[in-house]
Chain A
Amino acid sequence: MTASLRIARATAALAGLFLIALPLLPLAQDNAPPYSVLSRDGRRSIPVVVNGGRELVSVDDLASLFQVTVRGDQLAGGFTLTYKGKTIIASADKPMASVDGRLVALPSPVVQSNRRWLVPVEFISRALGPIYDQRITLRPAARLILVGDLRVAHVAARIDVSGPPTRATFVVTPASKVTASTEGGRVVLRVDADAIEATLPPSATGLIESIHLGDQPDTVIVALTRAAGPARVSASAADNATRITIDVAAAPEARPPVSQSPTPSPQPPAPGGESPAPLQLSGRTMQTIVIDPGHGGDDIGVKGAGGLQEKDIALDVARRVRSLIESRLGLRVILTRDEDKSVSLDERAATANNNKASLLVSIHANGAPSATPSGAEVFYDRLDREGEAARRAAAEQSVSLPIIGGGSRVLEIIPWDLAQARHIETSETLAGVLAEELRKVVPMSQRPRQQAPMRLLSNADMPAALVEMAYLTNGAQEKEAAKDAFKNNVAQAIVNAVARFRSLTEDRETQ
């Protein structure tokens, strides 16, 4: 009986201890792969715990990564996060936060566990993002948190041939300069971008042991097996994508060192080369230029206080550009309208596309809500979400067809209304050259080159830019724009820019 009583007392004591310890037990949590936080300072990781199927991060980790101040308030059952005078207030078990005075919904409640505050990963973009002084973008699929306006390159890797020789292909979008180096039995691909978003094969075969992201945010590491011999790296460029191919041969006997100087392909961007991504003209030399005089007919565009109409000055300058290009550069020039008539934006783009124009330059005059703004501006297109998707899809779904005489030609599949998607970089170059040439002869605005979602340009299947010559809402500019000297200067600058752009592109193609 005594022994039984002891057992009973011991059991009761254990039950008591259990009661005391119960509130201190942490929530059931599983670890998940961490998120990578990418910024211009580099790549850091933030641990993630899973609770109830939701991924949570610790507010303390946010404090150290984002330099925010966190103060817990046990009485109120919440915490306050402060950043540069702005605050986020959140309470336990509430799927929301007050962000600088506004309620923001969260996908799951805020949790307190082991005296740590845990918030859903989405808290970073939804709550911290609005008060942070840099853009914060959450990419759950890639487990990335981007801080700031980063140039992110997408790298899609696959192993084509197990071999040996083993062949791996890397498609980098948008087209970027890629530098390859070999060190210690691995090939390091360094992409000219702030960060890489990668689609990598989960396992490797043949002479490639693994493909993974490097410690540096702009590198991909291709680790080779002990049986690997020299690795040959070559690059080719499809529109808006750089394709890197790595061929790994078997070691002849014992494993020799990996080739220290990868053989670059003859085409830019050569790994290790200094040249930027090539300008693309779809393999054509420049033959036809389409000049688009904006507006026309009932659509007069901007009308200055003095009566000057945008549609008239646009057509006038376009005609001057045509005669100068034809006489000086010997190129064929097509105007989308050569009279005062209404032409739809689709018809204008179709004129350029159907004539396989090498360039499209649209000519306009600007208008502002006050008389202050002045100066010329050049626009090129900005892709939206669909445009970016189309560009990636085009790069990934391109079809390589053999052509007579050897080699192959890459056909890309891209929707008509997003044709500009694969010319964005070259259009940016064109806009830059136009702005530089215009600056020599006319006043420029405070933002001489701008990117915006421009309806006409987005359908153009060639490098394309839109020139705003002057503000007709500015009285002095309107008077100036009416003069022949101004119109001749603008026309001459556009022609000079076309000539410079032609030499840039044709130089690239002969490399």
Chain B
Amino acid sequence: MTTRRLLVAGAVLIAIGLVVWGVGALVTKQPAAAPAVVETTTPTETAHITATLFYASSDGRALVPVKRDVPLASGVVEQGRQILLTEMQAAPAPYIKVIPEGTTLRAFYVTDRGDAFVDLGPEIVRTHPGGSLNELLTVYALVNAVTANLPAVQRVQLLVDGREVDAIAGHVDIRRPLMRDSSLVRERDANQDSKVKSEKE
């Protein structure tokens, strides 16, 4: 009898132990206070995101980052297209657009390695005004606009008419993917508005 009671007591204890262990494991596996996902870019009612685009400063010497509304798109690739299409539109005053008028975006895609490909129409070569500074501003406005807004992209390969080319205007080497370059970027003047609404609005 005594032995039976001991066995029963032992079995009960083991069962309690297992339950305790199981509950403990569950407790540790679940976050103590499961937080809500940090929503940072909550879609606005007009379904836009605020992107940093790059234009020439009013004196034409440097690139200036300008926050503009860009249509919200699903996925990195489509969002990248929207960013580039906005970058190619007219610059908000007092900045100067550095992508030649009439330039088209043939395609945009991103590889698993974090390289983005920006395929531009052939007119960018024909209409580019030339000069090392002009060309650097054009190239890095595109490269910086993509890398500044799409964290998944580390480098940007510019293509013209679907092909790798030497340069847009004979100076800047675009045969290989380019990384973001801040050396041409100058923060805007303090008295200038930090956010310029899209021309469409």
Residues of chain A having any CB pair with chain B under 8 Å: 1, 4-5, 8, 11-12, 15-16, 18-19, 22-23, 25, 74-78, 89-94, 96-98, 101-105, 112, 126, 130, 294-295, 299-303, 310, 344-346, 364-373, 377, 379, 384-386, 417, 446, 450, 452-456, 458, 466, 468, 471-473
- Kindly list chain B residues whose C-beta atoms are within 8 Å of the C-beta of A97: 38
B side interface size, CB within 8 A: 57
A152 to chain B, nearest CB (A): 16
Q: Does B32 contact A (CB under 8 A)?
A: yes
Q: How far is the CA of A52 from the CA of B135 in the complex (A)?
A: 48
Closest to A446 in B: B61
List residues of B (11-43) whose CB comes within 8 Å of A's CBs: 13, 16-17, 20-21, 23-24, 27-28, 31-38, 40-41
Q: Which of B13, B21, B130 contacts A301 (CB 8 A)?
A: B130
A215 CB to nearest chain B CB (Å): 32
Q: Which of A89, A302, A370, A456 contacts B130 (CB 8 A)?
A: A302
Do the beta carbons of A372 and B60 come within 8 Å of each other? yes
B171: interface (CB < 8 Å)? yes
Residues on B with beta carbons closer than 8 Å to the beta carbon of A19: 20, 23-24
Asked if B152 is at the interface (CB within 8 A of a chain A CB), the reply is yes
B166 is an interface residue with CB less than 8 A from chain A: yes
CB-based contact A23/B10 at 8 Å:
no
Chain B residues within an 8 Å CB radius of A294: 170
Chain B residues near A299: list those with CB within 8 A.
Answer: 170
Q: Report A333 CB to chain B, min CB distance, Å.
A: 22
Q: Is B105 on the interface with A (CB-CB < 8 A)?
A: no
Are B35 and A91 within 8 A (Cβ)?
yes
Interface of A is mostly: mixed
Contact B35 A76 (CB under 8 A): yes
B178 touches A384 (CB 8 A): yes
Interchain CB contact under 8 A, B173 and A369: no
CA distance A417 to B166 in the complex (A): 11
Known: A18-B24, A345-B166, A454-B172. A89 touches B133 (CB 8 A): no
Which residues of the partner chain A approach B136 to less than 8 Å between Cβ atoms? 452
Q: Are A93 and B176 in contact (CB under 8 A)?
A: no
Question: 20 A-B Cβ contacts within 8 A?
Answer: A4-B2, A18-B21, A96-B38, A301-B130, A302-B130, A302-B131, A310-B130, A367-B134, A369-B96, A370-B59, A370-B96, A372-B61, A373-B133, A453-B172, A455-B170, A468-B131, A468-B132, A471-B131, A471-B133, A473-B129
A93–B30 Cα distance when bound, in Å, is 9
B98 within 8 A of A: yes
State whether B31 touches A89 (Cβ < 8 A): no
Tell me which of A18, A74, A89, A101 contacts B20 (CB under 8 A): A18
Report the Cα distance A93→B33, complex, angstroms. 11
Closest to A362 in B: B171
Of B60, B97, B152, the residue contacting A373 (CB under 8 A) is B60
Whole-angstrom distance between the Cβ of B138 and the nearest chain A Cβ? 9
Rounded to whole angstroms, the CA-CA distance of A456 and B28 in the bound complex is 61
Contact A93–B24 (Cβ < 8 Å):
no
Q: Which 4 A-B pairs have the closest CB atoms?
A: A367-B131, A370-B60, A22-B24, A77-B35
